[in-house]
């Protein structure tokens, strides 16, 4: 029960004091959606098809964010959260073929407006569940 009470207090603190914290993430998410739509159009023009079957974006829910902050014992400051939590927003792009995943990765790496910080290749080394992604 104590852990739940702390979590509620932390959520309330974030809600009260972090008003503008999520705005840059929401803006970045909209920009990424737009960028990938442009990539989709470029690819169709250059190659006659697009590797993007569909795309889904998401913002981490506040409760999930607070759970991760507590689990990782990150100080409850905007700077610490910005530096330590890498999945506040996410974009999932589904392709029809595995080769297209790597082609799309190369295409993204060549763009100047998107920078990859870290790549986890679960296609070459699938998770225990069998889940494959890049």
Residue burial 112-128, b: 16+ Cβ < 10 Å; e: rest? eeeeeeeeeeeeeeeee
Domains of the chain: 2-110 (3.30.460.10)
Q: In the block, which residue shows the tokens 């507590």?
A: 70
pLDDT of the chain, 134 residues: tens digit per residue? 455 566 777 778 777 778 789 999 999 899 889 988 988 898 899 889 888 999 999 999 888 898 899 899 999 889 999 999 999 998 899 998 999 999 888 888 888 877 888 889 999 999 999 888 99
């Amino acid at each position: 029960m104590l852990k739940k009470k702390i979590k509620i207090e932390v959520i309330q603190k974030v809600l009260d004091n972090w008003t503008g914290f999520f705005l840059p993430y929401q803006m970045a998410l909209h920009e990424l959606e737009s960028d990938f739509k442009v990539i989709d159009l470029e690819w169709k023009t250059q190659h006659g098809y697009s590797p993007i079957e569909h795309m889904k974006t998401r913002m981490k829910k506040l409760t999930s964010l607070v759970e991760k902050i507590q689990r990782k014992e990150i100080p409850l400051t905007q700077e610490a959260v910005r530096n330590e939590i890498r999945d506040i927003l996410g974009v999932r792009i589904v392709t029809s073929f595995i080769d297209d995943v790597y082609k799309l990765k190369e295409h993204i790496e060549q763009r100047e407006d998107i920078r990859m910080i870290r790549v986890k290749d679960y296609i070459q080394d699938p998770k225990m569940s069998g889940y494959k992604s890049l």
